[in-house]
Chains A and B, each alone.
Chain A
Amino acid sequence: MSRRDRLGRLDFVLSPYLYIAPFFIVFAITGLYPLLYTAWVSFHKWHLIGGDQGFNGLDNYVTVLQQPNFWIALRNTFSIFLLSSVPQIMLAILIAYVLDTNLRAKTFWRMGVLLPYVVAPVAVSIIFSKLFADQSGMVNAILGHLGLGPIGWHSSAFWSHIAIANMVNFRWTGYNALIILAAMQAIPRELYEAATVDGAGRLRQFWSVTIPQLRSTIMFVVINSTIGGLQIFDEPRMFDTMGNGGADNQWLTLTMYLYQLGWGPQKSFGRASAVAWILFLIILLFASLSFLLTRRIASSGTEPARDTRRRRRGRARAINRTAAGHTTAGHTTEGALS
């Protein structure tokens, strides 16, 4: 082999790895290293300023899991996450659908939905604290005019979660809508034409063409907001002036709890790291859960090419069952929508 050939071969084998290497190097420095270091810290008694005070095994984890505040924080985190993510994604799909129709001044509307995303969370918090003030807030004033009693936005856990979820939705709905809009525009128009020919109305087209075609995008958006939602910090911390999650921990979230352990009076870096790792595991678990869930929801419609193997197996099973004298009625619906 000539030198040139050998280089050529090397190029063929190595180049792809070199091209993707920058990401992995940056990730190793900024992502993996802190992750592993946090794990190391979580097994030690570690004071924020005082530093390492010796290995203590699973002590930090046990202590944290025994604290009632950890469980309150977990409850709040999930409550705020569900109250924000679910309506947020549904609304984002709707907004994207409207933006996808023949609007005048399209760019204006598309830029418009992204505007809240550009506003800094702190500014959003200031606006919303005026809206959701208990005595002098605008929302309670409007409720008063409607003859409804004032709501204790800061005293009740549930209502504080609603208020915080509103802040989150304000910021992220437009962002998600644009991602979904991009995917919507990639749907082949022939599908809609065919659907129209088949006599499907607007609603039917939305459910049977648009949603199934958006499957992977919705999956991305859901997992993204799962990760973001479980790490929520800015909005609840800015919800009152103390930033401690309320006098009764009404809106204390896991990341706020982590911050309190590490940077609050305890200054226990070890316990804070333990919470960080527990949170990491919870996020892994729920990201996979939402992955599976969205797969199911979005594939209740049909998708031509991808599921052939599973479908084939299903059909084979159905045939077997028919052979055994069972009804196939349940399986005919699968084909009916295509």
Chain B
Amino acid sequence: MFNKQAMAGLSLLAVGALALAGCGSGGSESSGTDADGNITLTIATFNEFGYDDLLDEYMSLNPGIKVVEKKAATSNEARDNMNTRLAAGSGLADVEAIEMDWLPELMQYADQFVDLSSDSVTDRWPEFKSAPATTADGKLIGYGTDAGPEAVCYRADLFEQAGLPTDREEVAELLDGDWDNYFKVGKQFVDATGIPWYDSATGTYQGMLNQIENPFENDDDSVIPLESNKTIRATYDTILNQSEDGLSAGLSQWSEDWVNAFQNDGFATMLCPPWMLGVVEGNAAGVDGWDVAPVFPGGGGNWGGSYLTVPTQGSHQAEAQALAEWLTAPEQQIKAFQTKGNFPSQLEALDDPALLEYTNEFFNDAPIGQIYSDMSKEIEISPYKGTNFFAITTVVTDALTRVDVDKTDDADSSWDKALSEFNQLGLE
């Protein structure tokens, strides 16, 4: 009899314990100080930052500090994790890596991040890298890690077929100028070969978008109504005219069809930040002729890149800031570049001989260190991306996809749908 009750009591206890375990497990492994005064710092990254050896080095340079890296497989996973824990007010790592694209949203909560500006880091980065992470009153919330200065990747063998020059310097000369020139050469190429000129309308649109100073929002974060946004409408029309002329391969980037198109001569050129080289190399394995031309239509442009932030939730903010500062210093950026190809964003690192002498075998031994270092200096505009940048740009890229990929709409009807989607966003 007692046994039964004891059992019942036990089961209740067990349930309670389960519930407690469920609540408590999140925080236990995170940062703290042990009995000897040693500090454990956590750093959350995603994909591949190339930090494995660097963290070991940091620990041997700083006795008493242990650094644990938490890697998320994809940036989306890291982003969800970050948003949820920011909302919950706890559970973030001492140093959190973020992508450039998240900045517009995170800047609204700048008070959740430590101000990282100091004399030792002023003028470390080019304007296009530091400006998006700086608030109106001069607070810096992230240290720039890698950057994405764009160049043009092209298929030299297909160029030859079309009777165009194949040498990367000559190609750069051929494509030098504005977007109209890029499309004009494309038309010539398509007429000669019947092969599309570039991979996707949305990818090309992104390249053009990153050269517009205020694509969707004014500097005071007020939204430009899509209906009266002439710049975007003009860009939209220009892109879709090229689709009509057969310049676009009509693929959606990252899709199965896009990946396969690398293997069957699906297109001749694509816009290429340094991190894209690995993607091209992987998708086009066994295909000869890829090369990188040191040119970008309409001036330079930046696509992607990351930052290290220090959330105010952490209990060792000063130590975390020191770690982030060290990891983003020129010497360490060069080491990360050598391990995983993350292109440095530090001005000083751009002139490092180790970078400038770097070549890539797959791209016909192109001196990509030198090329991207040069392209990085071409970037003049860092577009203002405010709170609603993402919401609006998705509406426009969807409109492009409907015409260029799905082919279920024409330019005008798809634009009308975009306007209605824009209104549904209910932006104030």
Contacts and interface: CB of A to CB of B under 8 A. Distances in A.
Interface string A51-86: 100000000000100011100000000000000000
Contact of A155 (B76, B408, B421, B425): B408
A7 interface: yes
Interface string B399-421: 10110011111000000010011
Interface in A1-32: 7-8, 11, 15, 18-19, 21-22, 25-26, 29-30
A49 B89 CA distance: 9
Contacts of B222: none
B221 to A, nearest CB: 14
Interface in A265-317: 265-267
Contacts of A246: 406
Contact of A49 (B16, B83, B398, B408): B83
B287 to A, nearest CB: 15
A241 B255 contact: yes
A248 B398 CA distance: 7
A133 to B, nearest CB: 4
B255 A152 contact: no
A240 interface: yes
B101 to A, nearest CB: 11
Given A155-B407, A240-B255, A19 B424 contact: no
A192 interface: no
A136 interface: yes
A94 to B, nearest CB: 32
Contacts of B408: 152, 155-156, 248
Given A49-B109, A247-B398, A265 B388 contact: yes
B117 interface: no
Interface string B4-16: 1100100110111
Given A48-B87, A155-B406, A263-B83, A69 B424 contact: yes
Contacts, number: 115
B112 to A, nearest CB: 8
Nearest to A262: B83
B405 A247 contact: yes
B181 interface: no
Contact of B425 (A240, A243, A266): A266
A137 interface: yes
B424 A25 contact: no
Contact of A136 (B83, B257, B405, B424): B257
Which of A30, A130, A135 gathers the greatest number of chain B CB atoms within 10 Å?
A135
Given A49-B83, A68-B424, A130-B256, A265 B391 contact: yes
Given A68-B424, A265-B425, A25 B256 contact: no
Interface in B169-221: none
Contacts of A11: 1, 4-5
A247 B256 contact: no
B: interface residue count bin: 35 or more
A264 B421 CA distance: 14
B40 to A, nearest CB: 26
Contact of B86 (A18, A49, A242): A49
B257 A134 contact: yes
Nearest to A25: B15
B406 A154 contact: yes
Contacts of B108: 49-50
Contacts of B398: 244, 247-248
Interface in A124-149: 129-130, 133-137
A133 B87 contact: no
Contact of B4 (A15, A135, A137): A15
B326 interface: no
B283 interface: no
Contacts of A26: 15, 18-19
Contact of B406 (A8, A30, A152, A267): A152
B405 A241 contact: no
Nearest to B404: A247
B406 A240 contact: no
Given A265-B394, A266-B425, A137 B256 contact: yes
Nearest to A247: B401
Contacts of B15: 21-22, 25-26
B132 to A, nearest CB: 17
A139 to B, nearest CB: 12
A30 B23 CA distance: 11
Given A129-B256, A263-B80, A247 B420 contact: no
B26 interface: no
Interface string B66-100: 00000000001000100100110000000000000
Contacts of A137: 256-257
Interface in B1-53: 1, 4-5, 8, 11-12, 14-16, 18-19, 22
A206 B397 CA distance: 54
Nearest to A24: B15
A15 B388 contact: no
A256 B18 CA distance: 31
Contact of B260 (A69, A136, A242, A248): A136
Contacts of B390: 265
A266 B391 contact: yes
A15 B5 contact: yes
B405 A67 contact: no
A248 B403 CA distance: 10
Nearest to A137: B256
Contacts of A244: 394, 398
Contacts of B1: 7-8, 11
In the A-B complex, list the 10 residue pairs whose CB atoms are closest, starting with the nearest: A265-B391, A155-B406, A247-B401, A18-B8, A133-B256, A241-B254, A136-B260, A247-B398, A135-B257, A22-B15
Given A11-B4, A21-B12, 19 more contacts: A26-B18, A48-B87, A49-B83, A49-B108, A67-B424, A133-B260, A136-B256, A137-B256, A152-B406, A152-B408, A154-B252, A155-B406, A247-B406, A248-B398, A248-B406, A248-B408, A248-B417, A263-B83, A264-B391
11 contacts: A8-B1, A21-B11, A25-B16, A29-B19, A49-B86, A49-B112, A137-B257, A247-B406, A248-B409, A265-B425, A266-B391
